[in-house]
Amino acid sequence: MLLTEYKVRFIIFQDDMLAMEVGRIEELSRSIIEKNYSDFKWMCILHPLSLGNDSARLMWLMKKAGCVLISFGLQSTNPEILKNIRRSPLEPQALENNIKNASKVGILTAVDFIFGLPGETSETIRESQRYALRTRPDFVNFHTFSFVPGAELDEKYKGCSYSSLNGFTKPELENICRRANLRFYFNPRVLFNTLKLIYKYAPEHLYSFLKDFILNIFNFFK
């Protein structure tokens, strides 16, 4: 209906569980291909482990179906922190493989990290930043941990302050995240790649990007 009646040409699947059911992402991709929506593009959110050992084949299929970007939530690269939030320590390696496979077929990747989780230290923060630069996703976002009412971590650490949880205050974490994001996009390789992507997909925004980039340089060194 969206494509035929409303002429929508881009859809973001905001479903965290899009590929958790075996065969779901393949079924979606094959259906799009069979319906011949040749000018339709889309992006989705995937868990680092959701494609398993079939990542390379599924990435190729998703690209053929019009997928242009995949967003992954890694949160941390530290095994102990991942265990603290009931995530698998296998996720960083699986995500690295996903990023490589996506790059080979021409799908862009974005990775989200969270700073300030239980067990966070200055070194684990640096580990995540080094991982981001080494694995070369196209985009990253470093976020500050927040308690979500009713969530498991909120119940487990109810009444705890940020500093008692991980040694950082919330303003300190916000500043760390801001500077981490800037450091990533200040990297010459990342900057060059970002400029190429803007020129390819949205050249009309190139001037505003460069203006904001220069402004951020001044803010970074304040």
Quick one: what percent of the chain has pLDDT higher than 90?
Answer: 56
| 10-186: CATH class | alpha beta
Quote the CA–CA distance of 213 and 222 in Å, as a whole number: 15
Residue 164: its H or E element: helix 162-166
| Bridge partners (DSSP) listed for residue 143 | 114
Band of the pLDDT at 83, cuts 50, 70, 90? Answer: very high
Tell me what the mean pLDDT of segment 52-76 comes to.
95
At residue 194, does pLDDT exceed 90? no
Lowest-confidence segment of 58-62, 125-129, 157-161 by average pLDDT: 157-161
For residue 106, give the 3-state DSSP assignment.
Answer: coil
Kind of pairing between the strands at 10-13 and 41-46? parallel
Asked if 108 and 139 count as a contact pair (C-beta separation under 8 A), the reply is: yes
Q: Which long-range contacts (CB under 8 A, 24 or more apart) does 149-153 make?
A: 152/86, 153/85, 153/118
User: For residue 219, what pLDDT is reported?
Assistant: 66
Both tokens assigned to 211:
């203006």
At residue 103, does pLDDT exceed 90? yes
Domain ranges for the chain: 10-186
User: For residue 222, what pLDDT is reported?
Assistant: 60
Band of the pLDDT at 188, cuts 50, 70, 90? Answer: confident
What DSSP state is assigned to residue 187? S
